[in-house]
Structure 1
C-alpha cells in the first residue's frame, strides 16, 4: 500500500532580495491594483457593494418620494396618531371610572398648554358628551359621526371656523367606552411636517454613506475569512516544484464547490509525479548503461593500430562520455535524497576545483586566481555537489576566455563569484543560460548545454541563488549562499 501523500503547507515561498531587479513603486502599485481588480475577492466585494448601493438608492428614492408627495399621510398623521395614543395612556380615572385628569410629558403637554388654539384634546363618551378637555376645546362635537373602533383614525374637521385634523381613539375602561380625540390645525400640521421633512435628504445621504462604508469594511473582513482556505491552497500550490511532487493540496475547510478542482489538481500531480519519476529513472539508467560501452569503444580504438585518424575518433568518444557524465550528474542532482549535507569550507572546494582544471587552463593559456579564501566561513552543503557546480562554471569561464586572460574566483562569507574576461553574453541569451540543452549560437567549445542547468539544480537543492552579471569586460556568475552555519 503506498504511503499517503503529504499535504502542502501554506507557508509563502522564500524569496531572495534582489534590489537591482525590484520594480519601482509605481509599477508595483499598478501590478497590485491589476491583480486585485481581477481577483475573486475583489469581484465579490464590488458586486456586493454595488448591489447594496443600488438597493439603498431605490429605498432612499422611495422614502423621499413618499415624504415629498404624501407628507401628511407619512409624517403628519403618524404624529397625531402617536399623540392620541400618548393621551389615552395618560388618562387618570376616579373611583367611578370616569376620566378626571390627564398626565402628559413634554412635548405634548407643552403644546396643549402653549398653543391651545392650534392643538386641542378632549375625552367624550359614546354620545359625544365632553368629559375632559384642554383649554378652548369645549363646544360642539368636532366630528358629526366620529369613526369608532381600533386602531385610531384621522379625519378632517372644521373647529371654530378653521380646518383641523382630528385623531380619534376608542378605549374601554371598567366596561365603559370612551373616545379620546386630539385636534391639530392644518397650518401647524403643515409647519410641523416641513420641519420634519427638511433634514430628511441629509439623513438619507448620511445613512447611505455610513451603511455603504460599514458594509464594505465588514464585507472585506468576511471575504478574507471565507477565502482564506483558497489563499492557503494557492500558496501551497505555488510551493510545488519538481522536487516535491509528492506533496498534495489539502481539502480541509475548502468549500465543496471547489473540492472537485482541488481533487483534479491532485490527480494531475499524481500523473506528473509518475511521468517525472519515469523520466529521471530513464535518464539515470541510460547514463549508466552508456558509460561502459563508451569506455570499451575508446579502448578498442586505442588498441587497434591500423585505424587511421584516431585522434578525432577519441575526441568524439570523450565528448560523448562527458555528455553522459553530465546526464548522470543531472539525474543525481535532481533528486534531493542523493545529497549528503555537512559543514564544509567553500574555499577548500574552490581550491580543489582550480587544481582539477589547472591543466586545461594551462593548455588554453588562461590563468586561474583565487581571492578571499582566508575570509570564508563554513556553509551547510554537499561537498561533491558544490565541487560540480564550481567546476562547471569555471570550466565554462576557461572555455570563453582568450589566451593570456585570467579567470578569478572571489570568495566571501556569503557568496562565490567567478569572473572571466571573455566576450560577454548577449542580453537576448540571458534568459536561456540555465535551460537544459541550450547552447549559445556560435559557441566555440563542445558541450551538451547541461553544465549550467546542473548548477541551477544544485543551487535550488541547497536554497542558494545563482545569477549572471554582465561586467565591463567578460561575465560574472555569482552563487549566493542563503544558509550559513
Structure 2
C-alpha cells in the first residue's frame, strides 16, 4: 500500500514537473502587440487542448487569453501560496522534496468533471503563464506500479529468497556435520573403549568447550574403570595360588571322611574366581569388530573340549546342525567362546544325571538344550542379573548367565531362554551383529 501510494504521488510529480517545464518555455514566448501581451505558441496552437491547454494571466490572476480549455483565474492570495491542493495528502517524497514556490499548482475539475492539474508559472512583467492537462488516471498508475513491482520483486526478492531456502539447509547440514560425527563417536563408546577421545576436528567453537569437558570426563571414567578392572582380575588371579596351596595342606591333614566336603567348598571358590576373571574379561576386553568366525567350527571345538567332563558327570552331549546355510558371523571369537563355554557348563550343572545336552547350530544362532527344572516365565527376565541363583543352596556363583548376557550385548546380539516340559533351552543369537 505504501509503495502504491508513493508511486502514484511519483507519477503526479512527474506530470507536474513536465507541465512546469512547459510553462517555463511558454514564459519565453510572451510578446506585446499594440501594448497587449500575447502568447506566440507557433505549432503548439494547433495541438492546444489535445490534451494540454495553455493560458496567459495578468498580474492579478485574470485570464488574458486561453488556448484549448479556458484558463483558470488565480486569486492574489493563491499566488502567495505554493504546493496547494495536493490530492494525495502527506507523502514522504513531498516532505523530502517540497515544491519551492516557483509555480502554483491546482487540481480542478474540467467541464466534464474530470480532474486536471493546472500549473501557473510567473513570467516577466508580472504576467503569468498557465499549462493544464487531465490528471493521470489511477488505473494507469496502479498497473504500472504492479508491473514494475512484480518485475523488481522477482529479481530483488524472490530469487534471493529461493537461493536462501536452498542454501540454508545445506549450510546447516555442513555446520552440524562435525557435531553429528562427535555424537556417533560418543554413541559407539563403551567400557572397553573409554580410552578413546571425541575428535575436535572442525567442531564449532561454541561446542569446543563441551567436547573437551566430555573428553576429560571420559579420561576420569577410564582411570576409575581400569583400576576396578585390574583390581578384580588381579585379586582373582592372586587368590588362585594360595587357595590351591591351602587345599593341598587341608587334604593332607583332614581325615578322608570330611575331605570330600571341603573339596566341594574349594571347588566352589575356584569356580567363583574363574567366573570373576571371565566377567572382568567380558566387560573390559576390546572387541575385534572386524573379526569373523564360523559358529559351527566354534561349537565343534568347545563341545569336543568339554565333552569328557560332561560325560564323566553322567551326562551325554551332542552337536547338531539344523541348517545347511552358512554359519559365518562377524564378531570376536574369544568372547564368543567364553559365552558358549559358560552356557554348556551351566547346562551340565543344572541337568539331570543321565540326561542329554544338545548343542544345535542354525545359521547365526547356537542353542543349548538340557533336561532340568523348569524356569517360571516370571524369573526369566531376572535370571541374567549378576549373582542370581534359582536355588540358593546350589554351589554355583550366579555369574555364568550374567557373563553370557554381557558378552552378547557387546556383540549387538542377545541370549534368550525358553522352558517347557522340563526342557530348558538357551540360545545365543548373533543375528543383530552377524553378517552371514
Q: Shorter-chain-normalised TM-score: which range? A: 0.5 to 0.7
Q: Secondary structure at the match of 2:428?
A: strand
The answer to which structure, 1 or 2, has the higher relative contact order (CA under 8 A, 6+ apart) is 1
- Whether 2:414 is the aligned partner of 1:466: answer yes
- Counterparts in 2 of 1:371 and 1:259: CA distance versus 1, 3 Å: same
Counterparts of 2:260 and 2:341 in 1: how far apart (Å)?
A: 25
Change (3 A) 1:378 1:74: closer
Counterpart in 2 of 1:351? Answer: 300
Q: Distance in 2 between matches of 1:342 and 1:254?
A: 32
2:393 is aligned with 1:410: no
Q: CA deviation at 1:297?
A: 1.5
Q: What is the aligned partner in structure 1 of residue 208 from structure 2?
A: 259
Q: Which residue of 1 aligns with 2:36?
A: none
Normalization by structure 1: what TM-score? 0.59
Match of 1:320 among 247, 269, 275: 269
Q: Which has the larger radius of gyration?
A: 2
- Cα distance change of structure 1 residues 181 and 237 upon mapping to structure 2, 3 Å threshold: farther
Q: 1:184 to 1:357 in 2, by over 3 A?
A: same
Shift, 1:372, TM fit: 1.0
- Any conservation in 2 of the 1:424–1:475 contact (CA below 8 Å)? no
1:418-445 alpha-carbon deviations (Å, 9 max, x no partner):
234445555555554544x241444664
Deviations 1:208-230 (A, max 9, x none): xx99x967776555443433332
Residue in structure 1 matched with residue 343 of structure 2 by the alignment = 393
Q: What residue is the counterpart of 2:110 in the other structure? A: 160
TM-superposed deviation, 1:411: 1.3
Which residue does the alignment assign to 2:252?
303
Tell me the CA shift for residue 90 of structure 1. Answer: 11
**Aligned pair 1:451/2:400, yes or no?**
yes
Equivalent residue for 1:247? 196
Q: Map of 1:206-245 to 2, 5 A cutoff? A: 219-245=168-194
Structure 1: how far apart are the matches of 2:22 and 2:383? Answer: 94
Pair 1:122–1:340, CA change in 2 (3 A): closer
Q: Gapped runs of 5+ residues in structure 1?
A: 1-62, 103-111, 171-177, 199-209
- What's the RMSD between the two structures over aligned residues? 5.2
User: TM-score, with normalisation over the residues of structure 2?
Assistant: 0.65
Aligned residue in 2 for 1:81: 13
- Give the Cα separation in 1 of the matches to 2:264 and 2:97: 111
Unaligned runs of 5+ in 2: 30-39, 84-93, 122-128, 147-157
The answer to whether the aligner puts 1:184 opposite 2:135 as a matched pair is: yes
Corresponding residue SS for 1:258:
helix
Residue 270 of structure 1: aligned partner: 219
Deviates more, 1:348-357 or 1:272-281: 348-357
